[in-house]
């Protein structure tokens, strides 16, 4: 991070940090693009693939996370198509009644936020089931376990 003072105020630049990261990943000669990401990128696990140096990978991911938190344009590219999946199964009297597995409509900023969204949908499902049981005048459990 480069910090300089001018008459207008303090300027913070991450140019050197970003250039070092591009050099380390071998992408220093890459051409700039309006949307800096590969379109329709499909990541998948391959059993016969080349082994990954986990320390290098973790270090690069840490650097990318730092840049993503400080640069909104990079944050967008990192977050596209990274939506979490909400999944839950509802049991009533020991029997499965409903199940759901669906991508969340928005990108969560953390796993805690993704879990909270899933929890909220599970609570809505539980409330709906209790209302249906009340309308049918059937017994129901007083509380919902999630």
Tens-level pLDDT at each residue, the chain (146 residues): 677 787 877 777 778 888 888 898 888 888 777 665 666 766 676 777 777 788 888 888 888 778 777 766 666 665 557 677 777 788 877 777 888 878 788 877 777 888 888 888 888 888 888 888 888 887 766 666 66
How would you classify residue 104: left for phi > 0, otherwise alpha for psi between -120 and 50, otherwise beta?
beta
Q: Are residues 95 and 130 in the same domain?
A: yes
Q: Are residues 17 and 68 in the same domain?
A: yes
Domain that holds residue 111: 85-135
What per-residue confidence (pLDDT) applies to 121? 86
Q: Are residues 100 and 125 in the same domain?
A: yes
What per-residue confidence (pLDDT) applies to 101? 79
| Tokens encoding 44 | 């998948």
Residue 141 lies in a domain: no
Q: Are residues 53 and 122 in the same domain?
A: no
Q: Are residues 95 and 71 in the same domain?
A: no
Q: Are residues 54 and 119 in the same domain?
A: no
C-alpha span between 94 and 146 (Å, rounded): 14
Residue 145 lies in a domain: no
Number of domains in the chain: 2
Residue 140 lies in a domain: no
C-alpha dihedral (8, 9, 14, 16), degrees to nearest 10: 70
Q: Are residues 89 and 25 in the same domain?
A: no
C-alpha span between 144 and 90 (Å, rounded): 10
Q: Are residues 11 and 69 in the same domain?
A: yes
């Amino acid at each position: 991070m480069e910090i300089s003072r001018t008459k207008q105020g303090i300027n913070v630049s991450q140019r050197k940090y970003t250039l070092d990261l591009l050099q380390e990943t071998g992408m220093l000669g890459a051409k700039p693009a309006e949307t800096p990401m590969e379109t329709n990128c499909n990541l998948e696990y391959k059993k016969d693939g080349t082994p990954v140096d986990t320390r290098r990978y973790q270090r690069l991911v840490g650097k990318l996370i730092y840049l993503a938190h400080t640069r909104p344009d990079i944050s967008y590219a990192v977050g596209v198509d990274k939506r979490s999946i909400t999944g839950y199964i509802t049991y009533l009297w020991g029997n499965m009644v409903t199940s759901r597995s669906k991508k969340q409509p928005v990108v969560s900023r953390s796993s805690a936020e993704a879990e909270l969204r899933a929890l909220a949908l599970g609570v809505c499902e539980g409330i709906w089931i209790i209302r249906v049981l009340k309308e049918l005048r059937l017994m129901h459990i007083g509380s919902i376990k999630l």
